[in-house]
Amino acid sequence: MWKADQVNGQGRLIHVDGDAYYGQWINDRAHGFGTFERVGGPKYVGFWTNDKQNGFGTEIWPDGAIF
């Protein structure tokens, strides 16, 4: 959802390099619960504040390791 030319609400953003974020947005920033998947790298599932991992979350690596 767009509000005042900024993304707000639930959404998905896929970067040109294939990295992707799925989750909540406030004022064009990942904020709330979401998932960030890196191509060939770990996936972070958890909470975000102003585009930064914040609070409870889990990283899942391609080999299955969980942190």
Can you give the residue ranges of every domain in the chain? 2-50
Q: Across the 67 residues of the chain, what is the mean pLDDT of every consecutive 10-residue run?
A: 81 94 94 96 96 94 93
In angstroms, the Cα distances linking 39 to 3, 8, 26 are 30, 25, 24
Q: What is the pLDDT of residue 5?
A: 82
Burial of 26 (0-12, 13-18, 19+ CB in 10 A): middle
Q: What is the pLDDT of residue 42?
A: 95
DSSP code, position 64: S
Q: What is the pLDDT of residue 20?
A: 97
Which residue type occupies 62? P
